[in-house]
Amino acid sequence: MSPSVLRTAPRQVDGLKWDINSLIDGIPLYKLLYGGRIPTFRSSADLASALIVDKSYFARGFPSNWMTPRLHAALTARQVEFATTSGTTSDRMQVIRKKDWWQDEYRRTYRYNPRMVDFEVGTDHKALLTTAICSNTVCYLEQAPYDDRILNNALYLNTTADPNQWRKSDLERMCGEIARFQPIYIDADPAYLTLFLHLCAVHGVTVPYPLPRYITLSYEMTTQFCRRYIQARWPVPTYDLYGATEIGYLYLQADDGTLTRSRDLSLVELAPYNVEHDLYYLIVTSVKNEYMPLIRYRIGDLVKVPGGRDHIAAKSSHDDVPIAYFCGRAGDVRRAKSGRPITAGDVDHALSPATDQVLLYQITVLADDEIVFRYVPVSDQELSRGDRETLTQCLVDIFGSPCHIRFTRERAIAPEISGKFATLK
């Protein structure tokens, strides 16, 4: 998608804490974007004159589009590290940043949660349970030994490409490693942690004690089913943590469930996607990565902001606007018969009160009035007739009638190429 001007400018009148113009000075991508006439950004209100840019634009022409003498010098001095966002060739993005950039980002972010503020990044033990990292420099796939998977006192637990394939021995290994490493904090992909706890129960593998002091759920949208399942088995404070490789973190949940903006070096705007249904694009200006500052980046995710119009009008900054929940990718939005947008987040919030017997699910809209609800049940049973009826009613309410819902119970739902699980396809 090409850059576009956002019509409704955020009402932000404060002075910017960072000098955007000097940060983007000399970066070819911005010169190209503005044809050499880069606006002056003195206050955040000035950002309204900047173009909104999608990932495909930022990803294009890497690295020359970002090359400045400063970056060149840092590269030559080997002061940088590389990363790639998940996705296939057409939507992945290469990122170059200062070495150990995440360590700083963790420090910046954890401060926003009173419980996590004490976590000593790099010293205290943290374990990660998500897709197995595999690049040319590190590969945690297959039999990477325990010691090799500890980086800055963070232990990477998973060594399998598809968590559905975890065998009893994998679960025992991971539990053994948790017991040995004693992380006080676990950062997990919600679907992976759900499967981990579920499969441990199925295979009779004892999950180690003491439990971590807290958990963050990151990497993909947390479904309410996963959250409930995790909380029931691991009753420790569990926080959603929202971020991405190219921007770092933007939101961290608090004990009362509200999402706190971790505001350092970034500024969020909520751009209307569908105001009537309180859906907004998340747009971020992030200067956390000095070599790749992203000005008005449309991440592609949607958020639910109840009463969004009024909130946005009342607050001086969109950073202060309370977000109810994340709705997933704009690209995954479906339409109800009425034309109303259906997001993964909305579906999830509508379905979760219906039953607690669903572990993972995936909804496929086959034709206008034919929907398949694939699910992995919590117990070894099919969903009861009552549960199916309630779910059917929820889905009909969402998609509109007539609508035929087919339930199929699955042993496993395969992750996407990125390793993440799609709930709405």
Residues lying near another protein in the complex (CB under 8 A) are found at: 59-64, 67, 72, 75-76, 78, 82, 84, 89-90, 92, 94, 135-137
Residue pair 259/322 in contact (Cβ under 8 Å)? The answer is yes
Query: SS3 of 313, please?
Result: helix
Q: Do residues 312 and 120 touch, judged by C-beta distance below 8 A?
A: no
Instruction: For residue 424, give the DSSP letter.
Output: B
The residue among 2 and 338 lying less far from another protein, judged by its C-beta, is 2
Collect all residues with Cβ–Cβ distance below 8 Å to 364 and sequence separation of at least 6.
371, 372, 374, 425
Shortest distance in whole angstroms from residue 116 CB to another protein: 31
Measured from the CB of residue 103, what is the shortest distance to another protein in angstroms?
19
Could you tell me if 281 and 42 are in contact, meaning their C-beta atoms sit under 8 angstroms apart?
Answer: no
Q: Which is nearer to another protein, 56 or 231 (CB)?
A: 56
Place of tokens 């970066």: 27
Q: 266 has which bridge partners? A: 286
Alpha helices by DSSP H, 287-384: 308-314, 344-351
Q: How far is the CB of 147 from another protein (least distance, A)?
A: 19
Give 300 or 377: the residue with its C-beta nearer to another protein.
Answer: 300
User: CA-CA distance, 219 to 189, in Å (whole number)?
Assistant: 5
State in angstroms the smallest separation of the CB of 71 from another protein.
Answer: 8
| CA distances for 28 relative to 24, 96, 118, 244, angstroms | 9, 15, 40, 23
Pick the closer one to another protein by CB: 132 or 188: 132
Contact 341, 276 (CB under 8 A): no
Least separation in angstroms between residue 299's CB and another protein is 19
- Smallest separation, CB 87 to another protein (Å): 10
The residues pairing with 424 across neighbouring beta strands, listed in sequence order, are 363
Of 134 and 330, which CB lies nearer to another protein in the complex structure? 134
Nearest CB to another protein, comparing residues 27 and 59:
59
Shortest distance, CB of residue 59 to another protein, whole angstroms?
7
Judged by beta carbon, residue 28 or residue 341, the one nearer another protein is 28
Q: Which two tokens stand for residue 94?
A: 């290469």
Q: Residue 23 Cβ, how far from another protein at the closest point, in Å?
A: 20
Provide CB contacts within 8 A for 322, sequence distance 6+.
258, 259, 305, 311
Task: Please report how close the Cβ of residue 92 comes to another protein at its closest, in angstroms.
Answer: 7
Q: Which is nearer to another protein, 80 or 330 (CB)?
A: 80
Alpha helices for 168-264 (secondary structure H): 168-181, 190-203, 224-233
Whole-angstrom distance, CA of residue 8 vs CA of residue 314: 14
Q: What number of other Cβ atoms are within 10 A of residue 142's Cβ?
A: 10
Nearer to another protein, 74 or 226 (CB): 74
Question: Which pair of structure tokens corresponds to residue 179?
Answer: 């017991």
